[in-house]
């Protein structure tokens, strides 16, 4: 049976590993989001009015606002 001192020493180590893993997972998620954003941005530059950047920007903003409006600007899901 492990003695009480060994158990107390293992708890901080386990807690540190959980925090490190959580931080690593967060970094991976952030990189994935940035890569997704970059890919979408690149495709919009190529296919959405490539010869008229101002029109492309206005249409992109309009589409974004319409999507947010249809979703009632409910961004609470991002907090979870």
| Domain boundaries along the sequence of the chain | 1-47, 50-80
* Stretch 25-50: mean pLDDT: 92
What is the reported pLDDT for 50? 94
Identify which of 10-19, 45-54, 66-75 has the greatest average pLDDT: 45-54
pLDDT at 69 over 80: yes
Q: Is the Cβ–Cβ distance between 50 and 56 less than 8 Å?
A: yes
């Amino acid at each position: 049976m492990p003695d009480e001192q060994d158990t107390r020493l293992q708890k901080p180590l386990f807690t540190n590993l959980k925090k490190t893993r959580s931080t690593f997972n967060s970094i991976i998620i952030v990189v994935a989001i940035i890569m997704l954003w970059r890919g979408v941005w690149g495709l919009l530059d190529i296919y959405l009015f490539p010869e008229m950047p101002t029109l492309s920007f206005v249409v992109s903003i309009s589409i974004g606002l319409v999507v947010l409006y249809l979703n009632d600007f409910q961004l609470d899901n991002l907090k979870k």
